Amino acid sequence: MARIFGRLSAYWVAIAIALFLMFTELAVELVQPLIMAKIIDEGLLKEDIHTVLIWGGILVGMSLLAFAAGMINTFYSAHVSQSFGYSLRKDLYKVIQYFTNATSSMFATSSLITRLTNDITQVQNTIFMSLRFLLRAPLLIIGGIVMSLIVDVKLGLILAVTIPVIIFMFLYVINKGSKLFKLVQERLDRVNSVMLENLTAMRLIRAYVRHQYEKNRFLHASNSLKKNTETALRLMEITVPLVLFLMNMSILFILWFGSIQINNGAIQVGKVVAIINYSLRITSSLSVITMLIMVISRLKASTTRLNEVFEQESKDDEKSADGEQQLLNGKISFENVSFRYPTSQFNVLNHLTFTIQEKELIAVLGATGSGKSSLFYLIPRLFEPTEGQIYIDNQEIDYYSLESLRKQIGYVPQQSLLFTGTIKENILWGNPKGSFEEVVKAAKDAQIHDTIMLLPDKYETKIGQKGANLSGGQKQRIAIARALVRNPKILLMDDSTSALDIKTERQLLQALTAYNCTIFLITQKISTAQKADKIMLIDAGKLLVFDTPENVQKTSALYQKIVLSQREKGEEQTCLKP
């Protein structure tokens, strides 16, 4: 928790003011029963109206002071909690942004969303309630016992014996409840995961008429959340009647023993009333403590989940400050490189060794699952090799800072991911400092400019979520334009021309020759591969052949089989199968 709550030091002035005001309210509450005792013993019983008016006026004045302190305390408590929540959410989001792909695979997207929203809100609300009234409750209990002992030791001891029993019960509930609420948060992650999948795949669900199946899946996840929440809340709520029972028994005993003391002349009526008043205030505070137990249980679960994110050592963050800020030429060398994903025991790439000269166009072919995309992930260091070394311009790849390396790489993934905003904003996402002229040039080279100009708002046309209002080919070309506007030294295109027709793809490849960069192009089309300087054929993570199209055609039986298959079927694109 220290790592999270250490951020509160930035708001120590506001916290100090809020605590001072809270202690003011507490002091008033502890003094009020004594004043009431004086009004009863020295005023009402002696029929001294003057004394009643004086102490009554003091009581009203102190109540107004406590009211003003409470109002101002609310302002400062809200300021601290909201500012802290904002700061925590910002820092957590920054940590997530710098996750490596290996770290990202440890957390589900829905889980990260829950931590950024629900868990931080839980911490934020705890801080507000603590500064406003939760901290006052245990202090009022302690202060109430002390004041009761000062008023009368014998009657005060009744409270002093009862409260430790209740506190022991509270500690047990906190320990048990934190585990239950952690399970509740995990169930909430599952509900969010199902919702996210459903909303993302809504069209597919309709097309396959899977409404009922998805409804049942959501209800199952929601029902699990309901049951776990009920179990946790049931444990929390059962403490309330038990606490009230113990406190009411204490009050009855105080009344019984107090009446005996009054009859014997050992204590005044006002002091018995004062102790009863303290008992009632302690009972009220214990009701707040039951809420505090639930808050602490939730807080413990939430802070544990937040720390799980903060404690992940981000390799991106650690290494981004290292290395040289140096322009690339684009020469790439792999020496005996193998790679497997962190959650896997098997390599997806095995002992790859090759060298690509700067400005070469390399076509990468291979069956689905052969390791083509994994190869791409290693070049911008989205993952680190398990074995071997990668060189850029004859320097080890970690010689360059991550920022410097990635700023000079254009990456077009298999799935064209677009963001809500205009077409212009989506292209500039690749180079925020780019001019409109550079945007237009990139769009022309990506063969999307003419299509954009036919739209009513042209480059200011709004793109729906994930580009829902665009075709697959249009999304691919905007994604390509986003990579080209960077003027990259290395361009990685992961099967990003699959939705383009032959003519458009030919024009795109021709436009790419004007760029001073090395190009990696994953493709399933033989017609595209034959335009490359070299072809890289990968199968089961192994490099089968790496040579010019002419030599590959002569020496690779698998490549010949692919060519024959596509020619016979008259297809320009087919799924490669060895």
DSSP 547-576: E-HHHHHHH-HHHHHHHHHHHHHT-S----
Alpha-helix residue ranges (DSSP H) falling in 130-268: 136-151, 153-200, 202-207, 211-263
CB of 416 within 8 A of CB of 465? no
Distance CA 238, CA 231 (A): 11
Q: What tens digit of pLDDT does each residue of 305-351 get?
A: 888 888 875 544 544 444 445 778 889 999 999 998 887 888 899 99
Q: How does residue 403 score in pLDDT terms, banded at 50, 70 and 90?
A: confident
Q: How does residue 576 score in pLDDT terms, banded at 50, 70 and 90?
A: very low
Domain 322-408+488-578 has CATH 3.40.50.300: yes
Lowest-pLDDT choice from 14-28, 203-217, 481-495: 203-217
Distance CA 550, CA 465 (A): 44
Mean pLDDT of 447-463: 89
**Which of the two residues, 293 and 319, has the higher pLDDT score?**
293
Q: How does residue 44 score in pLDDT terms, banded at 50, 70 and 90?
A: confident
Mean pLDDT of 108-112: 81
The DSSP code for 542 is E
pLDDT > 90? residue 254: no
Q: What tens digit of pLDDT does each residue of 76-95 get?
A: 999 999 999 999 999 888 88
Lowest-pLDDT choice from 198-207, 313-322, 379-388, 561-570: 313-322
Mean pLDDT of 547-552: 89
Percent of the chain with pLDDT over 70: 94
Mean pLDDT of 252-259: 87
**Which of the two residues, 193 and 100, has the higher pLDDT score?**
193
pLDDT > 60? residue 572: no
Q: Which CATH number fits domain 2-182+234-314: 1.20.1560.10, 1.20.1260.10, 3.60.21.10, 1.10.10.10?
A: 1.20.1560.10
Q: Is 362 helix (H, G, I), strand (E, B) or coil?
A: strand
Backbone angles phi, psi at 431, to 5 degrees: -155, 85
Residue from 16, 135, 161, 23 nearest 80 by CA? 16
* Number of helices (H), then strands (E), in the chain: 22, 12
For the stretch 419-453, what's the b/e string if a residue is b when 16 or more beta carbons lie within 10 angstroms of its beta carbon?
Answer: eeebbbbbbbbbbeebeeebbbbbbbbbbbbebbe
Q: How does residue 502 score in pLDDT terms, banded at 50, 70 and 90?
A: confident
Distance CA 419, CA 435 (A): 19
Q: How does residue 284 score in pLDDT terms, banded at 50, 70 and 90?
A: confident
> Torsion-angle region of residue 487: left (phi > 0), alpha (psi -120 to 50) or beta?
left
Residue from 385, 300, 259, 400 nearest 334 by CA? 385
CB of 370 within 8 A of CB of 305? no
Specify which residues 519 forms β-bridges with. Answer: 361, 491
pLDDT of residue 82: 93
pLDDT of residue 534: 92
pLDDT of residue 325: 58
pLDDT > 70? residue 364: yes
pLDDT of residue 578: 41
Mean pLDDT of 164-174: 80
- CA distances from residue 143 to 135, 159, 249, 251 in whole angstroms, order as listed: 12, 12, 20, 17
| Neighbouring residues of 337: CB distance < 8 A, sequence distance ≥ 6 | 349, 351, 352, 353, 378, 385, 387, 388, 389, 390
Q: How does residue 266 score in pLDDT terms, banded at 50, 70 and 90?
A: confident
Mean pLDDT of 185-206: 79
Q: How does residue 15 score in pLDDT terms, banded at 50, 70 and 90?
A: very high
∠ Cα 312 313 314 (to 5°):
105
Lowest-pLDDT choice from 193-202, 275-284, 488-497, 530-539: 193-202
pLDDT of residue 574: 43
The DSSP code for 341 is -
Total-model pTM:
0.66
Percent of the chain with pLDDT over 90: 23
pLDDT of residue 71: 93
Q: What tens digit of pLDDT does each residue of 231-246 get?
A: 888 877 777 788 788 8
Q: Is 504 helix (H, G, I), strand (E, B) or coil?
A: helix
Q: Which of 301-315, 456-470, 471-485, 551-565 has the highest mean pLDDT?
A: 471-485
Q: How does residue 375 score in pLDDT terms, banded at 50, 70 and 90?
A: very high
Q: How does residue 497 score in pLDDT terms, banded at 50, 70 and 90?
A: confident
pLDDT of residue 203: 66
Rounded to the nearest integer, the mean pLDDT of the chain is 84
List the chain domain ranges.
2-182+234-314, 322-408+488-578, 426-486
For residue 402, which amino acid is it? Answer: L
Q: What tens digit of pLDDT does each residue of 555-570 get?
A: 888 888 878 777 766 5
